[in-house]
């Protein structure tokens, strides 16, 4: 075949494939156009899961009738004038591609009237072929009607998911925009039924409930932070602000799909941003669990390049490190503001022993943990942990490198009172009574010690007779990849045939356990297709070792053991939760005791 230029309809369809992948992408482009047009109210109607009809009506600025033929042409836009504008885009659109793309794979009817025009204009494009502009009567604003989507691209139709799935995607998309644009009234009707209505009163919490449900919405923590973007040797100035919502450590999902971002009002996917959020949670999350987060990041338009992806779903930051560390800090600060030490509610009865309601003000112990240990960066934390000699680094040890500014340090913050039910330790602290779950606390202590062992090795115990352990394929692959991590933990393991391993030594912590069981525990429920980051795998493996090795509930501890557990817990960076996110302690403040005994109103 000789080389030929493609007919323009074919070229359009190819280009359309990048922008319009499914009904939700049409909704996205048209909704963005309405928001760019300054609409206060946008009404979206979807029928036949978006294949039969998508109609979006707005009360924005409208398109003059004489510009309608241009609006539907490729590379026609009112939002950019010269190439330089590309680096300071302040609108959602700028590529001038959406209407042309949508018009080439559907029947698109645009009806529009700027407020100052007497009549509206209407133009129809079918499969990329435009008709004439006709005058019609219509309210000010724009109505975009997309019918028979993909009627001329059967291949695309085949790739659509079940109707319910496409509808759900549209719901999710519109809800996210509703959250990003709380000042706009958004109404979405699917198959004739209202599926989302926002009031446009600017209240994001209200929209949150539609996104996650009332229960979850109530628990979400607000993020609000502003950081300077100092101009280090370049002209960029201005602030980066980070707002939105994150879940408390107790509210998680098994994947990171619920971590979303809007950058300058534009939804973006960015795994590095997601990683920054996870870092903000530190070791507070149970391994393999991920928070819910929806963050709105605002920065000067020239600090971000939005022109790197056809659907504008990816961006490039001019100063990625500042953005990522800003996000990490903002997340951490929001978690701090929320008190993860569960206090018994002030007004509760002793028998209704539920933990809730953070205590206003908080005890000095908690303040110290929060301000001193939380604000340390990961690197500092690791460094100070590494200095902590095993077995137990005391409080003094811990504070020396990390917090020299701490005023008068007591020898110990928690004074042991005793053990109850062979399960809980009772301690007196600076502001009342602490009940500590010995298993959870020990898990936390072991976890932090093991995670700090990046260079040094854990004490290991050689087996008299090496054990051969067979593993299922996924587990075997994981172990084979993680041999260095295992070695640091004190496992001496080598490949032995196809999916078997020879275990020569195990961590001293697990010496009492059957070596085969010890190895299997590490890979029990890793999913076959899971490819977590290296550090996450390590954290998971370590958390499992800790779970096995920690003292159990029901185990009687000598007073010496109890005291050293308390001291070790105090030395932890995140003493309040176990590596799986459960609380290690419950706090009964003096204030609360006084109320309960009727000493205070
Ligand atoms: P882009 O949004 O990238 O500019 P589009 O193809 O989506 O490209 O739209 C082309 C042009 O049509 C826009 O630049 C804008 O001038 C106009 N337009 C599209 N939708 C609307 C609308 N709802 N209200 C007003 N003008 C619109
Ligand atoms: Mg657009």
Q: 81-104 pLDDT, tens per residue?
A: 777 777 777 888 888 889 999 999
Share of the chain above pLDDT 70, in %: 82
C-alpha–C-alpha distance, residues 544 and 542, integer Å: 5
Neighbours of 339 (CB within 10 A): 20
Residues 6+ apart with CB under 8 A from 154: none
Residues 6+ apart with CB under 8 A from 556: 419, 422
End-to-end Cα separation, the chain, in angstroms: 92
Please give all residues whose beta carbon lies within 6 A of any atom in ligand 1, as ranges. Answer: 29, 33-34, 37, 58, 60-63, 71, 76-79, 93-100, 142
Q: Whose CA is nearest to atom 13 of ligand 1?
A: 77
At 456 the pLDDT is: 59
For residue 488, name the pLDDT band (cuts at 50, 70, 90).
confident
Tally of helices (H runs) and strands (E runs) in the chain: 20, 27
Share of the chain above pLDDT 90, in %: 35
Q: What is the pTM of this model?
A: 0.62
Residue 566: what are its φ and ψ, rounded to 5°?
A: -60, -45
Distance 47 CA to ligand 2 centre (A): 22
Lowest mean pLDDT across 142-151, 385-394, 571-580: 385-394
Longest dimension (CA), the chain: 95
At 409 the pLDDT is: 34
At 474 the pLDDT is: 66
C-alpha–C-alpha distance, residues 18 and 104, integer Å: 12
Q: Taking a C-beta distance cutoff of 8 angstroms, is the pair 334, 246 a contact?
A: yes
Look-up of token digits 């949150």: 208
At 29 the pLDDT is: 95
pLDDT over threshold 60, residue 124: yes
Cα 157 to Cα 20, 50, 148: the distances in Å are 12, 11, 11
C-alpha–C-alpha distance, residues 584 and 575, integer Å: 7
Cα 436 to Cα 338, 352, 398, 426, 542: the distances in Å are 20, 18, 20, 6, 22
Q: Whose CA is nearest to atom 21 of ligand 1?
A: 33
Is the pLDDT higher at 261 or at 235? 261
Cα 539 to Cα 78, 277, 334, 505: the distances in Å are 51, 17, 23, 21
What mean pLDDT comes out for the span 246-263?
88
Residue 237: what are its φ and ψ, rounded to 5°?
A: -130, 165
DSSP 252: E
At 395 the pLDDT is: 28
At 249 the pLDDT is: 86
Distance 18 CA to ligand 1 centre (A): 18
Pocket test for ligand 1, best of 36, 80, 100, 143 (most atoms within 8 A of CB): 36
Both tokens assigned to 407: 């005023």
Is the pLDDT higher at 173 or at 515? 173
Q: Whose CA is nearest to atom 2 of ligand 1?
A: 93
C-alpha–C-alpha distance, residues 593 and 344, integer Å: 10
């Amino acid at each position: 075949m000789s080389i030929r230029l493609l007919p323009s309809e074919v070229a359009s369809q190819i280009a359309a494939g990048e922008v319009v992948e499914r009904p939700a992408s049409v909704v996205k482009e048209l909704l963005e156009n309405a928001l760019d047009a300054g609409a206060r109210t946008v009404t979206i109607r979807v029928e036949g899961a978006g294949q039969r009809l998508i109609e979006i009506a707005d009360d924005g600025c409208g398109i003059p009738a004489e510009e309608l033929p241009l609006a539907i042409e490729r590379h026609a836009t009112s939002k950019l004038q010269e190439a330089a504008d590309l680096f300071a885009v302040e609108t959602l659109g700028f590529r001038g591609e959406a209407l042309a793309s949508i018009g080439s794979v559907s029947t698109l009817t645009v009806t529009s009237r700027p407020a100052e025009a007497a009549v509206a204009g209407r133009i129809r494009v079918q499969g990329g072929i435009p008709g004439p502009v006709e005058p019609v009567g219509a309210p000010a604003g724009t109505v975009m009607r997309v019918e028979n989507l993909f009627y001329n691209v059967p291949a695309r139709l085949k790739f659509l998911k079940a109707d319910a799935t496409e509808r759900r995607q549209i719901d999710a998309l519109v809800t996210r925009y509703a959250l990003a644009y709380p000042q706009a009234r958004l109404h979405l009707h699917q198959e004739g039924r209202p599926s989302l209505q926002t009031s446009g009163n600017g209240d994001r919490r209200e929209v949150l409930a539609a996104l996650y449900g009332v229960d979850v919405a109530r628990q979400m923590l607000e993020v609000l932070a502003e950081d300077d973007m100092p101009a280090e040797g370049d002209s960029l100035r201005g602030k980066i602000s980070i707002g939105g919502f994150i879940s408390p450590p107790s509210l998680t999902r098994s994947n990171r799909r619920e971590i979303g971002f809007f950058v300058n009002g534009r939804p973006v996917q960015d795994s590095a941003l997601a990683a920054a959020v996870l870092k903000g949670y530190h070791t507070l999350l149970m391994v393999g669990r991920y928070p819910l987060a929806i963050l709105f990041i605002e920065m000067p338009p020239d600090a971000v390049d939005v022109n790197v992806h056809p659907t504008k779903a990816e961006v490039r930051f001019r100063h990625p490190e500042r953005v990522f560390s800003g996000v990490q800090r903002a997340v951490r600060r929001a978690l701090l503001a929320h008190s993860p030490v569960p206090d018994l509610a002030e007004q509760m009865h002793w028998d209704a022993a539920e933990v809730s309601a953070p205590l206003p003000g908080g005890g000095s112990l908690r303040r110290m943990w929060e301000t001193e240990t939380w604000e340390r960066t990961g690197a500092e934390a690791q460094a100070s942990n590494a200095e902590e000699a095993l077995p137990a680094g005391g409080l003094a040890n811990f504070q020396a490198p990390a917090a020299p500014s701490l005023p008068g340090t007591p020898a110990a913050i928690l004074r042991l009172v005793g053990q109850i039910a062979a399960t809980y330790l009772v301690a007196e602290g600076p502001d009342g009574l602490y009940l500590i779950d010995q298993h959870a606390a020990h898990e936390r202590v072991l976890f932090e010690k093991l995670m700090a062992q990046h260079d040094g090795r854990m004490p290991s115990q050689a087996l008299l007779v090496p054990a051969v352990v067979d593993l299922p394929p996924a587990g075997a692959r994981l172990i084979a990849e993680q041999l260095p991590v295992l070695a640091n933990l004190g496992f001496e393991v080598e490949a032995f045939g196809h999916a078997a391993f020879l275990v020569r030594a195990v961590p001293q912590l697990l010496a009492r356990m059957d070596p085969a069981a010890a190895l299997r525990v590490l890979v029990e429920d890793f999913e076959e297709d899971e490819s977590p980051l290296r550090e996450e795998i390590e954290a998971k493996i370590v958390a499992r070792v800790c779970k096995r090795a920690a003292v159990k509930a029901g185990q009687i501890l000598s007073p010496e053991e109890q005291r050293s557990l308390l001291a070790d817990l105090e030395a932890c960076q995140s003493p309040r939760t176990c590596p799986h996110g459960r609380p290690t302690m419950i706090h009964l403040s003096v204030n609360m005791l006084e109320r309960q005994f009727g000493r205070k109103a």
